[in-house]
């Protein structure tokens, strides 16, 4: 079976998903949906299409200047319609050359939109196309006037659809999905539970003295609300350390000021390796993640796997994994007092966090073990191949 992925080449989620398929004798190809970054180290046994000419690796401002040069026939030949670095022209060429049995675009706003352009260039003559919905692709962007038309166009054109929330299956159907929704699976695949066990601190979760706050503050992330709630719980947090991975600059500034005001130990964690992040979650009593939009928060899943008590905003698909006050807590993303109330309870109720860890341990074995997810991921492609080519992959 020959599969062409259109996806971020530097994303660990891309790498983890594709790595599930390695070793099956399938012919795997990847077309990078952007020029940012290089291939993720976990991308092995995949033919990455280095489709852009060397000139396209220049800074964007230099490329635009070159494109403006009069009579630049080379650039005009590369970009017969529109000059931009992630051109569908090259994707359409790769599709013709590779002739994949299946194309799977991972994410809408880059890979999916790029596929729409390539489809137009190929006059709709595509192999079976699976459109993968990541994060906020439909839940948030589907509501925005500048994206709605293209989101609906993807749902109208794709043959199959993947996502990681039952919520997003319903939303896709409401927005005109004509393709077939495939089984809901985490976009980053499953977890190696043997590795997780080695990285997890021994003893009950209630004995841990670390709090992890996801540090994104941007169009979706609301880490500043989390910091506000932490300040409201300063008395209960004496003796704990607060660690903030992925901190935006404004979060770093606010964290320093709050640490000065309260005397709390607040540490901003530089970007680190995947295993180090798991080790951090494996030493945490509580994970706090807030955003106005997400699918399954990968950080929340990592926290659950590593035994931390998750407090997650209601705007992710947390309710498909967490029963409030049983194995985590679900909170509004922009109400620091409500978040503080949940945080205070998780700090003071040892029985709650220990029971949650026990419950989540079984949940992880049933729904997140790579030994469970990997066969389901492979079956997904075998089904599409069988239904579109009339034989097993």
User: How far is Cα of residue 393 from the mean position of the Cα atoms in its chain?
Assistant: 27
Taking the whole predicted model, whether its pTM rises above 0.85 is answered as yes
Instruction: Please check whether residues 317 and 332 belong to one and the same domain.
Output: yes
Q: Which of 91, 136, 94 is nearest to 114 (CA)?
A: 91
Instruction: Please check whether residues 78 and 210 belong to one and the same domain.
Output: no
CATH number reported for the structural domain that contains residue 305 in this entry:
3.40.50.2000
Instruction: Please check whether residues 363 and 375 belong to one and the same domain.
Output: no
Instruction: Please check whether residues 238 and 92 belong to one and the same domain.
Output: no
pLDDT by residue for the chain (393 residues), tens only, comes to 999 999 999 999 999 999 999 999 999 999 998 877 789 999 989 999 875 554 455 454 555 555 454 444 444 444 433 334 456 888 999 999 999 999 999 999 999 999 999 999 999 999 999 999 998 999 999 999 999 999 999 999 999 999 999 999 999 999 999 999 999 999 999 999 999 999 999 999 999 999 999 999 999 999 999 999 999 999 999 999 999 998 999 999 999 999 999 999 999 998 888 999 999 999 999 999 999 999 999 999 999 999 999 999 998 899 999 999 999 999 999 999 999 999 999 999 999 999 999 999 999 999 999 999 999 999 999 999 999 998 544
The answer to whether 226 and 247 have CB atoms below 8 angstroms apart is no
The answer to whether 287 and 306 have CB atoms below 8 angstroms apart is no
Instruction: Please check whether residues 85 and 214 belong to one and the same domain.
Output: no
The answer to whether 8 and 48 have CB atoms below 8 angstroms apart is no
Instruction: Please check whether residues 219 and 327 belong to one and the same domain.
Output: yes
3-state secondary structure of 310: strand
Instruction: Please check whether residues 358 and 210 belong to one and the same domain.
Output: yes
Distance CA 161, CA 163 (A): 7
Count of structural domains, the chain: 2
3-state secondary structure of 22: coil
Instruction: Please check whether residues 339 and 205 belong to one and the same domain.
Output: yes
pLDDT value for 83? 35
Give 314's DSSP letter: T
Residue 29: CB atoms within 10 Å: 19
26 lies in which domain range?
2-189+370-389
Instruction: Please check whether residues 71 and 122 belong to one and the same domain.
Output: yes
> What is the torsional sign of CA 372, 286, 329, 132?
negative
Distance CA 289, CA 30 (A): 31
- Say which residues have a Cβ less than 8 Å from residue 200's Cβ, sequence separation at least 6: 282, 306, 307
Distance CA 376, CA 194 (A): 20
Q: Which of 123, 55, 132 is nearest to 88 (CA)?
A: 123
Question: Half-sphere exposure of 331 toward its Cβ, with a 13 Å CA cutoff?
Answer: 28
Distance CA 269, CA 281 (A): 13
Instruction: Please check whether residues 285 and 159 belong to one and the same domain.
Output: no
228's tokens = 């506000």
Instruction: Please check whether residues 318 and 383 belong to one and the same domain.
Output: no
- Give the CA angle between residues 164, 285, 265 to the nearest 5°: 115
pLDDT value for 391? 56
Residue 3: CB atoms within 10 Å: 24
Instruction: Tell me how far CA of residue 113 lies from CA of 48, 49, 131, 393, in angstroms.
Output: 20, 18, 10, 28
Scored b (16 or more CB within 10 A) or e, 347-368 reads beeeebbbbbbebbeebbeebb
Instruction: Please check whether residues 169 and 139 belong to one and the same domain.
Output: yes
Radius of gyration (C-alpha) of the chain in whole angstroms: 22
């Amino acid at each position: 079976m020959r599969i062409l992925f259109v996806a971020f080449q530097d994303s660990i989620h891309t790498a983890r998903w594709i790595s599930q398929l390695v070793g099956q004798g399938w012919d795997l190809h990847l077309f990078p949906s952007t020029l940012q970054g290089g291939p993720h180290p976990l991308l092995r046994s995949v033919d990455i299409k280095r489709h852009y000419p060397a000139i396209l690796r220049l800074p964007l401002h230099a490329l635009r200047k070159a494109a403006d040069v009069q009579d630049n026939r080379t650039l005009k030949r590369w970009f017969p319609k529109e000059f931009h670095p992630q051109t569908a022209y090259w994707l359409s060429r790769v599709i013709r050359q590779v002739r994949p049995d299946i194309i799977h675009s991972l994410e809408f706003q880059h890979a999916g939109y790029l596929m729409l352009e390539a489809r137009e260039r190929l006059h709709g003559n595509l192999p079976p196309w699976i459109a993968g919905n990541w994060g906020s692709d439909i839940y948030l962007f589907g509501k925005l006037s500048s994206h709605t038309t293209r989101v609906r166009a993807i749902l109208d054109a794709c043959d199959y659809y993947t996502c990681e929330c039952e919520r997003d299956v319903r939303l896709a159907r409401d927005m005109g999905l004509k393709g077939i929704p495939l089984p809901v699976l985490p976009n980053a695949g499953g977890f190696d539970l043997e590795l997780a066990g080695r990285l997890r601190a021994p003893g009950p979760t209630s004995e841990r003295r670390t709090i992890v706050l996801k540090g994104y503050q941007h169009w979706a992330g609301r880490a500043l609300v989390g910091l506000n709630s932490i300040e409201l719980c300063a008395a209960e947090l004496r003796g704990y350390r607060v660690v903030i991975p992925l901190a935006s600059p404004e979060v770093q500034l606010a964290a320093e000021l709050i640490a000065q005001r309260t005397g709390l130990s607040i540490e901003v964690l530089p970007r680190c390796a995947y295993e180090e992040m798991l080790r951090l979650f494996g030493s945490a009593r509580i994970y706090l993640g807030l955003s106005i939009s997400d699918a399954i928060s990968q950080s929340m899943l990592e926290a659950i796997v590593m035994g931390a008590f998750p407090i997650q905003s209601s705007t992710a698909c947390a309710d498909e994994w967490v029963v409030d006050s049983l194995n985590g807590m679900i909170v509004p993303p922009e109400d620091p007092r409500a978040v503080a109330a949940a945080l205070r309870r998780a700090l003071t109720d040892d029985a709650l966090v220990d029971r949650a860890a026990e419950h989540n341990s079984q949940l992880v074995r049933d729904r997140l073990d790579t030994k469970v997810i990997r066969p389901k991921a492979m079956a997904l492609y075998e089904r599409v191949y069988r239904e579109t080519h009339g034989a097993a992959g």
